[in-house]
Structure 1
Amino acid sequence: MKKTYRNIFYYIGPILVIILIMSFLQKNLTGTKEISVNTFIEYINSEKIVEVSNEGNYYRGKLKDDTTFEIYLPDNIGNTFFSEYLRKPIENKEIILTTAPAQDTNWIFNWLPIFFIVIIMVGFFYLLMSQAQSKGGSSTMNFGKNRAKLSKNDTSVTFKDVAGLKEEKEELMEVVDFLKSPKKYIALGARIPKGILLVGPPGTGKTYLSKAVAGEAGVPFFSISGSDFVEMYVGVGASRVRDLFKDAKKNSPCIIFIDEIDAVGRRRGAGMGGGHDEREQTLNQLLVEMDGFGKNEGVIVMAATNRPDILDPAILRPGRFDRQVYIGIPDVREREAMLEVHTRNKELDPDVDLGSIAKTTSGFTPADLENLCNEAALLAARNNLKSISKEIFEEAAIKVVAGPAKKSAVVIEKERVLTAYHEAGHAIVSRLLPDTDPVHMISIVPRGRAGGFTAYTPEEDRSYKTKNEMKHELIMLLGGRSAEHLILDDISTGASNDIERATKIARAMVTKYGMSEKLGPILYDSEDDEVFMGRDFGRAKHYSEEVASAIDEEVKRLIDEAFDKCLKLLENNIDLLHKLAKVLLEEETIDAEQFEKIYQDYLKNGGEQPPELLHTVQETDKNIRDVLNNEEVRDE
């Protein structure tokens, strides 16, 4: 009942305020001011009045400066006042008198305009309040209500719609089986995980997989973002957490999915506000609700994040998020399966091979693959095609990675030559080194920020990289800068991104992967050293200044060695460099087949690859083969 009175006050309060304001301003709306009797006499004596009109007991007049006024004179004063003060000026025609019939002064007519204005404003106010409540907005009447979207028995998304992720789906099938038949687990005394945390890079399908779990089990699905809990008002986040779990228990068995939980689940004590800010109160309530479940109540919490390192340890302990499921970048078979899913409703040419497209999209997330298929469809429609061809798919892949081609950009000839030799240097060095990916396409057409690019096709998905592979990647990245230095006897800013990537690789080899012979297999850097406001106010260093200097020397040594070897490769194959640059200046873009033909023609004319650079690679391959051929190792 109290809640009903409170809601009525929300509507009546603004109405009363509006009425008071309108009644106060009513007499000022026409610009006519009300004067006193003494002021009226003063106006008459000073001959300021031009005309006067009489309407019953009201006298309204106009001054010489066009100011209007009014005065109310009761019957016992009006006749005497007229005889003593107004009769003579009127007879002398100093003041013009007009007489009008007295208007009905019933209060209903006086308040009727205000009444209509109030009705309009109340209707507008009621409309705003209704929309705010229907959308679950942050109105004053539902601050503490949760904003979770409830989907009941929605089976539109199941595991069949999730391509790849075979092991991840098997991991989550236990949850689905428990939600379908919980008695089987309860009879054996088993406890299903209360919370499952989906961890992985952005765009890997964490949210979609959680929907598939709910669709597979056929249970209600509450979905909410972590930022929806926190509000500017104190206590609102904790209230929303309580309300969410209250609704979930009423609809059990069900699933609560919290997307981007790091927005509310960050480590407590971080930040300048100590442990009393609104976000931490919300986290405390979430911890209590997750740990306060009764035994096998049928409410399972699923959450997704790409920053598990900043989550509070209390939320990751068994009893809350018992299980973490890592969803990583898909491999080539999973990418092919995802491409088949995303092209089901698209018309493809017979020459489109999704398997080869999957090979060229190494490192793509499911979101990237969906965007690739959509971009291909848009390009086909832009070119008025009825189906998507292989060339359209390749163009879409390059567009997603590097941006659209700027074919209309005006590029001076000097920059075209520089770009041609730069990209030719990358391609040739990559072709000469055995531990780098094959060249897929070379172009000197500007795309995005790049004046040109060289695309590569990974032959296989690699989980690890060897030291020699990383060294050869350094050499390949410096191919453009080496070509500029060798041919043009000058260098440009075009190699800035290559240098940045090469420096990161070299520093990671020394500080993270322990690949430095001088410093040894010691970790000098880690992801935990990243600054997290409140926990760290600067990058933590676990080594002395002497070690820091040694790290810099090792990084420089790796870069210098790679640059020298790259220069040597290009010097020994300078004819190939000139030939490829010339073709690029003529064609602007060449594919893998054209590049391979140019390279094979060069070999036929006497070109050869320097064998000294292959020595370490061949030695490593030999050692691996010896280990695999060892019978004792095989038996173990």
Structure 2
Amino acid sequence: MAQPEFPNERRRGDRRQRAGGGIKPPRFSMWPLLALFGVLILMNVLGPTRPTKIPYSDLKNRISARQAEKVRIGATTIEAIATDSIRKAGGPERWRADKVEDDQLVPLLEARNVPYEGMAEARWGMVIWGLLPLLLLVGLWVFMFRRMNPTQGVLTVGKSKARIVGEEGTGVSFDDVAGVDEAKVELQEIVEFLKTPDKFARLGAKIPKGVLLVGPPGTGKTLLARAVAGEAGVTFFSISGAEFVEMFVGVGAARVRDLFAQAKSQAPCIIFIDELDALGKARSPGNMLGGNDEREQTLNQLLVEMDGFDPRLGVIIMGATNRPEILDPALLRPGRFDRQVLVDRPDVSGRLAILKIHAQGITLGPDLDLERIARRTPGFVGADLANLLNEAALLAARRDKASVGMQEVDEAVDRIVAGLEKRNRLINDKERTIVAYHEAGHAIVAERVPTADPVHKISIIPRGVAALGYTQQLPTEDRYLLQKQELMDRIAVLLGGRVAEEIVFNEISTGAGNDLERVTELARSMVTEYGMSRELGPVNLAGPRRTQFLQQDGGMPAQRNYSEETAREIDGEIRGLIEGTYERVRRILTADRDVLEVLARRLLEKEVVDEAELREIMGLPPRTHEPPPERVVETPPVNGAGGGVQAAASSATRDDTVAQPPSRGGRGSSRKRGRQP
């Protein structure tokens, strides 16, 4: 199929540049600086000394005392050269005084037989000699600037720093991107427009000017943008939002103008602005703190440029951010970034596809099951999965294995979720025993309550900075909604460690502090956000949820919108919910006291107990690892109950002797932390 004709197509020429292949900047050298200091020292040693300025009367007295060897008389100044005896005694070589109308000076000079002559006031040599150090400094600055920026001159700071990939393509296609099938379908329209614009022009359709890729870090937004350029076979301009703004006022706006000028001359092309929030943050109503508004000027120029070019040119602007809530509304209106594509965390099938891509260059063992790994890593994004396989490959290489097996993958998951093992950390027997019973309590409750995620592994091996052990729960499927009973079971699992300590030792430790914090947070959300309280009913008392990023940017927390009496009722409901669940957990662990003792002793003996051994101790049949039937959720929530519940679910078994892994992976996993009282 013939390539379409775009405006400015004939001017493309040899604009192709290899990404990252430009001139390598030379290393910084101290020799020019040392040479400059040497020249300044020589000038100070060899240059003429400045005359000592004295009053006119003092000059006459020195002439009378025959201390002057020669005198020069100018229009406004008089200069006397000292005799050899004065110079040898350490005196100055010359004296200078302002001229005074006096008829006695010349007779005095003749009487003392001192030769005198006229002196020209304009001494350009001395002026140039005085300015020479400054000129040398300016020359050195220009030289070093050119050395550090070999492709730019001193006055080209306003040029765009975009990295350009030419017609040979980015080397990335949609086949290299997995786990974001919906996003690829949305972006296929952009590829078709760049390839066949007549198909859209025939119907009068206008392609969106801007496409904003929104999603958590590590989901592949940049890779997806490069894949669009690779599929379309067009020039790809890549730049970060932070590269527009620098210390010079007006540089950001100038770089925006230069970037769009280059793009228009090389159409069809794609302009990709990574981390758009660094440039497109919402403008404040007024500059209350003073200072310059360089970033806002740059944003204004970007808005103007996006409005000012013809969409028929074939210039597509793509942006990527994980903070869409702080972007300026003018940037998101139709005609600018008028299409937003969500690049979300992959589901189990997406994780499997991502693992297959990253496993292509790794020698896999016969026991390695990628599908099982995909089911065990809910919440992991593409970057997490790539890191997981790389960590497993590193472990296999250190052990001189020929392939990567399931054991290395298990250890890589533990390392990512809970941290590096600290087997050399010294823990006394009493604390080690407390940790064992605490973790055993978590595990037993998780297996006894009906809706908790199954326990995969229990360990009392210290990990990370302050982790003394962990209980790892792995959900069997991706969840979008949680019911009240499921939340109650999660609270029960969180309380299992503290209740086990109280039953066995008749004492409690500081290890359950974070347990109680998370239990209280989850119970408060049930009462105030999800309307799960019988007394208060189906009302939301928490108000709109503020995002973490806005709070970091100085956003005010939502104010309380209920009375003191209602606040007391909320506190009573939260306390009653937690205390009722506490008694439920006590009954479970009291009935399983023998199992608790056996499991704790096994942990003290082996340090790690897996799922099969746990179920054997509890007298339960082995669990099959068949994938569960798919759950159909007609309307997945975004910011409603489902989103909040999922956030709570992702921290289901963390306590102060149990801490949760990073939110990006392993929902329900936990690791133990010790806290000083």
- Sort the Cα spacing of 1:179 and 1:362 in 2 relative to 1 into closer, same or farther, 3 A: same
The yes-or-no answer on 1:407 pairing with 2:423 is: yes
Residue 472 (1) aligns with residue 489 (2): yes
The residue that corresponds to 1:8 in the other structure is: none
1:361: which partner in 2? 377
Question: Distance in 2 between the 1:444 and 1:62 partners?
Answer: 90
For the structure 1 residues 446 and 58, does the alpha-carbon distance in structure 2 shift closer, same or farther, using more than 3 Å as the test?
same
For residue 330 of structure 1, report the CA deviation from its aligned partner.
0.9
Instruction: Quote the residue 2:318 is aligned against.
Output: 302
Residues 5-404 of structure 1 aligned to structure 2 (within 5 Å): 26-28=43-45, 124-134=140-150, 141-153=155-167, 154-269=169-284, 273=288, 277-404=293-420
Give distance in 2, aligned partners of 1:577 and 1:447: 23
Question: Counterpart of 2:337 in 1: which secondary structure?
Answer: coil
Q: Secondary structure at the match of 1:411?
A: coil
Structure 1 pair 566/35, CA: closer, same or farther in 2 (3 Å)? same
TM-score normalised to structure 1 length: 0.76
8 Å CA contact 1:144–1:237 kept in 2: the answer is yes
Q: 2:475 aligns with which of 435, 458, 463?
A: 458
- Give the aligned residue type for 1:466: Q
How many angstroms apart in 2 are the aligned matches of 1:365 and 1:359?
A: 13
Amino acid corresponding to residue 595 of structure 1 in structure 2: L
Q: What is the CA–CA distance in structure 2 between the aligned matches of 1:272 and 1:576, rounded to whole Å?
A: 65
Per the alignment, residue 633 of structure 1 pairs with none
Match of 2:502 in 1: 485
Do the aligned partners of 1:474 and 1:562 also contact (CA within 8 Å) in 2? yes
The CA distance in 1 between the partners of 2:323 and 2:348, in whole Å, is 25
The 1:34/1:270 distance shift into structure 2, 3 A limit, reads: closer
Name the CA shift for 1:336/1:131 in 2 (closer, same or farther; >3 Å): farther
Cα distance in 2 between the residues matched to 1:329 and 1:28 = 70
- 8 Å Cα contact 1:22-1:114 kept in structure 2: no
**Whose helix fraction is larger, Structure 1's or Structure 2's?**
1
Does structure 2 retain, via aligned residues, the 8 Å contact 1:133–1:142?
no
Structure 2 residue 576 is matched with structure 1 residue 561: no
1:515 aligns with 2:529: no
Which residue identity does 1:587 align to in structure 2?
Answer: K
**1:341-371 Cα shifts (integer Å, max 9, x gaps):** 1121122221111111111111111111111
Q: Is the 8 A contact 2:82 2:92 kept in 1?
A: no
Determine which of 539, 545, 549 is the counterpart of 1:527: 545
In the other structure, the counterpart of 2:613 is 594
- Partner Cα distance (2:527, 2:184) in 1: 38
Shift of residue 501, structure 1, vs aligned partner: 2.7
For 2:184, what is the secondary structure of its paired residue?
helix
- Counterparts of 1:58 and 1:387 in 2: how far apart (Å)? 91
TM-score (norm 2): 0.72
Match of 1:437, SS state, is: coil
For 1:421, the equivalent position in structure 2 comes to 437
CA distance in 2, matches of 1:509, 1:60: 100
CA apart distance, 1:71: 6.9
How has the CA–CA distance of structure 1 residues 362 and 60 changed in structure 2, closer, same or farther, with 3 Å as cutoff?
farther
In 1, Cα distance between the equivalents of 2:560 and 2:306? 37
CA positional deviation for 1:497: 3.0
Percentage identity across aligned positions?
47
Q: Deviations over 1:265-286 (max 9, x none)?
A: 2222257538982222222222
Report the Cα offset of residue 299 of structure 1.
1.3
- Cα deviation digits, residues 2-45 of structure 1 (max 9, x gap): xxxxxxxxxxxxx9xx99x9799835569988779999x989x9
Q: Is the 8 A contact 2:524 2:574 kept in 1?
A: yes
Contact 2:599–2:617, Cα closer than 8 Å, also in 1? yes
Match for residue 598 of structure 2 among 579, 585, 591: 579
> How many pairs align?
545
Q: State how far apart, in whole Å, the 2-side matches of 1:305 and 1:36 are.
A: 68
Secondary structure of residue in 2 paired with 1:452: strand
Q: Deviations over 1:87-142 (max 9, x none)?
A: xxxxxxxxxxxxxxxxxxxxxxx99x999999997775444222443477xx8623
Alpha-carbon distance between aligned partners in 1 of 2:378 and 2:572, rounded to the nearest angstrom: 33
| Alpha-carbon contact 1:145-1:239 (below 8 Å) kept | yes
CA distance in 1, matches of 2:516, 2:441: 14
3-state SS in 1 of match to 2:468: coil
* C-alpha distance 386-491 of structure 1, shift in aligned 2 (>3 A): same
Q: Tell me, yes or no, if structure 1 residue 495 matches structure 2 residue 509.
A: no
What is the CA-CA distance between 1:469 and the residue it aligns to? 0.9
**Greater RCO, CA 8 A, separation 6+:** 2
Aligned to 2:77: none
Conserved 8 A contact 1:60-1:69: no
Deviation at 1:198, TM superposition (A): 1.1
Secondary structure of the structure 1 residue equivalent to 2:272: strand
Whether the aligned pair in 2 keeps the contact of 1:270 and 1:534 (CA below 8 Å) is: no
Q: Is residue 207–residue 311 contact of structure 2 (8 Å, CA) maintained in 1?
A: no
Aligned pair in 2 of structure 1 residues 310, 355: CA closer, same or farther (>3 Å)? Answer: same
With over 3 angstroms needed to count, the CA separation of the structure-2 counterparts of 1:36 and 1:126, relative to structure 1, is: closer
Kindly report the root-mean-square deviation, in angstroms, between the aligned alpha carbons of the 2 structures: 4.0
CA–CA separation in structure 2 for the residues paired with 1:121 and 1:23: 10
What's the secondary structure of 1:425's corresponding residue? helix
Cα pair 1:230 1:237 within 8 Å, conserved? yes
Q: What secondary structure sits across from 2:280 in the alignment?
A: coil
Match of 1:434 in 2: 450
- Separation in 2 of the partners of 1:116 and 1:272? 44
CA distance in 1 between counterparts of 2:141 and 2:235 reads: 35
Shift of 1:308: 1.5
SS at match of 1:201: coil
For 2:27, the equivalent position in structure 1 comes to none
- 1:269 aligned partner, one-letter code: S
Q: For residues 247 and 511 of structure 1, what CA distance do their matches in structure 2 show?
A: 54
Match of 1:54 in 2: none
Q: How does 1:607-622 map to 2 (within 5 A)?
A: none
Q: Which moves more between the two structures, 265-274 or 305-314?
A: 265-274
In 2, distance between residues paired with 1:270 and 1:219? 39
> C-alpha deviations, 1:469-489, integer Å up to 9, x for none?
111011111111111122112
- CA-CA distance at 1:58 after TM superposition: 11
| Residues 24 and 434 of structure 1, relative CA distance in 2, 3 Å threshold | closer
SS in 1 for 2:579: helix
- Relative distance call for 1:134 and 1:434 in structure 2 (3 A) is farther
Q: CA deviation at 1:504?
A: 2.6
Displacement of 1:232:
3.5
1:534–1:444: structure 2 CA closer, same or farther, 3 Å change rule? closer
Distance 1:270 1:119, change over 3 A: closer
Distance in structure 1 (CA, Å) of the matches to 2:52 and 2:170: 77
Partner of 1:88: none
Q: Which amino acid aligns with 2:506?
A: D
